[in-house]
Chain A
Amino acid sequence: MKYITLLYWVLFCSFQLNAQDTVQVRQLDSIRIVAQRRLRDMGVQKTSLDSAGLRNDITGSLAQVLSQNSTVFIKSYGRATLSTASFRGTSPSHTQVTWNGMKLNSPMLGMVDFSIIPSYFIDEAHLYHGPGSVIVASGGLGGAIALSTRTIPEEGLHLHFIQGIGSFRTFDDFLRVSFGKNRWKTSTRIYYTSSANDYIYTNYRKKIFYYDQQGNITGFEYPREQNQNGSFLDFHVLQDIDFNGSGWGNWNLSAWYSRTDRGIPLLNVDYKENTSVRNNQRENAFRGVIRWRKLQQYSKWEAKAGYTYTDLLYEYKRDMGDNQWANMVHAQSYVNTFFSRLETEWYINKWMFSGNLTVNQHFVTSLDNAVVSVEGKQNIMGYEQARVEASGFLSVKYRPAERLGFSVDVRKDLYGREFTPLTPAFFAEYLVSRRGEVVLKASAARNFRYPTLNDLYFMPGGNPDLKPEQGITFDGGITTTHKETRYSWNGSVTGFYSLIDNWIVWLPTFKGFWSPVNVKQVKSYGTEINGSMAVKLNKNWKLSADGHFAWTKSINLGDPVNWADQAIGKQLVYIPEYSSAFTGRISWKAWTFMYQWTYYSERFTTSSNQTDSRIGVLSPYFMNDISLETAIRLPHLVINLKGIVRNLFNEEYESVLARPMPGINYTISIGISPL
Chain B
Amino acid sequence: MTLKMTRTFTIILLLLVTGSCMKYGPSETEAFLPGPSSKGLFIVNEGNFMYGNASLTYYDPQSGNVENEVFIRANGINLGDVAQSMTIHNGLGYIVVNNSGVIFVIDPATFRLKGNITGLISPRHIHFVSQNKAYVTDLYREKITIIDPGTYTVTGSINTTGHRSTEEMVQWKNDLFVSCWSYDNKILVVDTQTDTVTDSIEVGNQPSRMILDKNNKIWCAASGEIYRINPDKRTVEKIFTVTDDASYSYLEINASKDTLYILNRDVWRMAADDEKFPAQPFIRNRNSRYYGLAVDPATSHIYVADAIDYVQPGKIYRFDPDGTPVDTLTAGINPGAFCFQ
Contact = CB atoms under 8 A, between A and B. Distances in A.
A-B interaction:
yes
Interface of A: 204-207, 209, 211, 215, 217, 222, 267-273, 276-277, 318, 326, 328, 371-374, 376, 379, 486-487, 507-512, 533, 535, 537, 543, 545, 547, 561-567, 573, 582, 584, 595, 597, 599, 605-608, 610, 613-616, 619-624, 649, 651-654, 657-658
B52 to A, nearest CB: 3
A657 B53 contact: yes
Given A267-B50, A614-B72, A215 B20 contact: no
B27 A614 contact: yes
A606 B122 CA distance: 25
Nearest to A573: B311
Contact of B205 (A271, A374, A595, A615): A374
A225 to B, nearest CB: 13
Given A374-B185, A379-B183, A537 B6 contact: yes
A204 B52 contact: no
Interface in B4-40: 5-6, 9, 12-13, 16-17, 19-27
A622 B20 contact: yes
5 contacts: A269-B97, A606-B313, A649-B20, A652-B22, A658-B53
A547 B182 CA distance: 52
B239 to A, nearest CB: 17
Given A374-B185, A511-B245, A562-B286, 4 more contacts: A508-B289, A561-B309, A564-B315, A608-B313
B100 A269 contact: yes
A371 B183 contact: yes
B12 A535 contact: no
Nearest to B23: A619
A590 B315 CA distance: 63
B156 to A, nearest CB: 13
Given A207-B77, A614-B27, A486 B312 contact: no
Contacts of B73: 614
Contact of B6 (A376, A535, A563, A652): A535
Nearest to B82: A269
B312 A565 contact: yes
B22 A615 contact: no
A535 B306 contact: no
Contacts of B113: 209, 217
B180 to A, nearest CB: 9
Contacts of A566: 308, 312-313
B24 A624 contact: no
Contacts of A537: 2, 6
Contact of B100 (A271, A535, A563, A615): A271
B205 to A, nearest CB: 6
Contacts of A205: 52, 77-78
Contact of A215 (B114, B182, B308): B114
B112 interface: yes
A253 to B, nearest CB: 41
Contacts of A623: 20
B192 interface: no
Contact of B51 (A610, A624, A657): A657
A584 B306 contact: no
- Which 8 residue pairs are nearest across A and B when measured between Cβ atoms? A658-B52, A622-B20, A608-B312, A271-B102, A272-B101, A376-B162, A510-B247, A619-B23
A584 B17 contact: no
A582 B11 CA distance: 13
Interface in B239-258: 245-248
A615 B25 contact: no
Interface of B: 1-2, 5-6, 9, 12-13, 16-17, 19-27, 47-48, 50-53, 55, 68-69, 72-73, 75-81, 97, 99-102, 112-116, 118-122, 140-142, 162-164, 182-185, 205-206, 245-248, 264-265, 286-289, 306-313, 315, 328, 333
A35 B6 CA distance: 37
A621 B2 CA distance: 32
A98 B182 CA distance: 40
B288 to A, nearest CB: 6
B67 to A, nearest CB: 12
Given A270-B81, A374-B184, A653-B24, A614 B69 contact: yes
A564 B308 contact: yes
Contacts of A563: 286
A64 B23 CA distance: 22
A13 B51 CA distance: 44
A625 to B, nearest CB: 11
Contacts of B307: 508
Contacts of A217: 112-113
A651 B24 contact: yes
B287 A561 contact: yes
A566 B311 CA distance: 10
Contacts of A371: 183
Contacts of B289: 507-508, 561
B333 A204 contact: no
Given A620-B22, A624-B16, A267 B311 contact: no
Given A543-B5, A657-B51, A658-B50, A624 B17 contact: yes
A214 to B, nearest CB: 10
Nearest to B72: A614
A347 B6 CA distance: 45
Nearest to A329: B140
A642 B127 CA distance: 59
Nearest to A205: B78
Given A372-B164, A606-B333, A567 B100 contact: no
Contacts of A599: 20
Contacts of B142: 326
A318 B140 CA distance: 8
A204 B25 contact: yes
A271 B120 CA distance: 8
Nearest to B73: A614
B55 A615 contact: yes
A660 to B, nearest CB: 10
A205 B24 CA distance: 11
Given A543-B5, A561-B287, A215 B115 contact: yes
B262 to A, nearest CB: 13
Contacts of A543: 5-6, 9
A543 B308 CA distance: 54
Nearest to B312: A608
A427 B185 CA distance: 60
Contacts of A204: 24-27, 77
B312 A508 contact: no
A584 B248 contact: no
A326 B120 CA distance: 15
A545 to B, nearest CB: 6
A606 B311 contact: yes
Nearest to A599: B20
A326 B121 CA distance: 12
Nearest to A584: B13
B53 to A, nearest CB: 5
Contacts of B311: 567, 573, 605-607
A204 B205 CA distance: 41
B13 to A, nearest CB: 6
B264 A510 contact: yes
Contacts of B12: 545, 547, 582, 584
A545 B205 contact: no
Contacts of B121: 272, 276-277, 318
A613 B245 CA distance: 37
Nearest to B139: A328
A507 B310 contact: yes
